Each structure stands twice: as structure tokens, then as C-alpha cells.
Amino acid sequence: MAEIIHYENIKAKIYLIRGQKVMIDRDLAVLYGVPTGRLNEQVKRNIKRFPSDFMFQLTKNEFDNLVSQIVISSGNNSEYSQYLISHFATSKWGGTRKMPYAFTEHGVAMLSSVLKSKRAIEMNIAIIRTFVKLRDFALSYKMLAEKINELENGYKKHDKKITEIFAALRLLARSENSEAKEEIGFKT
């Protein structure tokens, strides 16, 4: 199982939607080794475990944005982008298929309680670790940005003082030059 689970592979399936890092039902189903319908069926059977901050259904606009992000990032021949495009295709009965569900980190954690296979448990652990790494990275990035701002503000203070020193030196240089311009010696 360890050779299948790669941080980068999981990270690539985490999207930012509604200001939250989420994974789409289809991606989770592939990772867990179950059909998407089975995953969603288990969720619906346990819907009280999935409040809106754990899981939500994408709107058509969100879905369209997601499809365009994936197509742009992976090229038009991507198997997944073809799935997403066909996922929204009309059914033979007319109307549209349902929009995919997005699961937040908490929703992914809750999935382990409804999908109880060994693979689901192992994959859940890997996914949660990926979310934690992303959060740690974001936190360290924020801390780095704060340090850069501190340094920048420190340099601005130093720049101001250096500018004042140069202004004082110019003033001194002018006053010395004005005294030096007076001729020494006999005036005629």
C-alpha cells in the first residue's frame, strides 16, 4: 500500500473551493478503491455524520471552474478531465446528473467511520497526513512572510536613518565648501 500512497498524488487531488481545501467524491472513491456511487451511498446512509462544514455539493459554476482548472493544469487529454466533463453530461432520461460532492478534511476523516475496509483506513490516514502537511506548509509560509515583513520594516527604519545621515553629511559638506570658497591671500 505504501508504494501507492504518495503525498504529491494526494496533494494534486486537493482543491480550494469556497475557501476550503476539499477533495471530490470521485477522487476519494478511486483512492479508497470503491465506486463513487458506493462512497456516496455510504455517506447518504450516514448523512448526520456529514454536516455542511464536512461535505457539500458543488454548484454548476463551481463544477465548471473545477473542470477548467483541471483541463488547464493537466491538458485536454486528461482521463480525469474527460470524466469531469462527461460527469455533467445529460442522462438518457433528460436532465443532468448530480454535481459531485466535496469533502473537507473533517469530512474525509469522517469517511473512515463509514468506509471500513483496510484500504479505506490506510488511505484515510495518508489523506489526513497530506492535509496536515499542507496546513503546516501554509503556516510556515505565513511565518516566513511575517519575518520578511519584519526585516523589510527594519530596513525601512535603517534607510530613514541612513538618509538622515547623508542629508547631514551633505549639509556639512556645503557649509565646508562655502567656507573654502573664500579666497585666502591678497585681494586686489
DSSP string of 137-156, one letter each residue: HHHHHHHHHHHHHHHHHHHH
Residue with grid cell 536613518, as numbered in its chain: 161
For residue 24, the model assigns a pLDDT of 93
Give domain status of residue 167, yes or no: no
Edge-first strand order for the sheet with 14-17 is 14-17, 20-24, 101-104, 55-57
Give domain status of residue 150, yes or no: no
Give domain status of residue 25, yes or no: yes
Give domain status of residue 184, yes or no: no
Q: pLDDT (tens digit, 0 to 9) for every residue of the chain, 188 residues total?
A: 444 567 677 888 889 899 888 989 998 888 888 898 889 999 999 999 899 999 999 999 898 888 877 765 555 444 554 555 454 444 455 444 689 999 998 888 888 777 777 777 777 777 778 778 877 777 776 777 777 777 777 777 777 777 778 777 777 777 666 655 555 566 66
For residue 114, the model assigns a pLDDT of 79
Give domain status of residue 156, yes or no: no
Give domain status of residue 51, yes or no: yes
Closest CA to 83 of 74, 163, 53, 42: 74
Give domain status of residue 159, yes or no: no
For residue 143, the model assigns a pLDDT of 73
The pTM of the full predicted model, rounded to 2 decimals, is 0.58
For residue 55, the model assigns a pLDDT of 93
C-alpha 172/C-alpha 63 separation (Å) is 68
For residue 77, the model assigns a pLDDT of 47
Give domain status of residue 187, yes or no: no
For residue 151, the model assigns a pLDDT of 74
Provide the residue range defining the domain that includes 57.
Answer: 7-139
The number of folded domains in the chain is 1
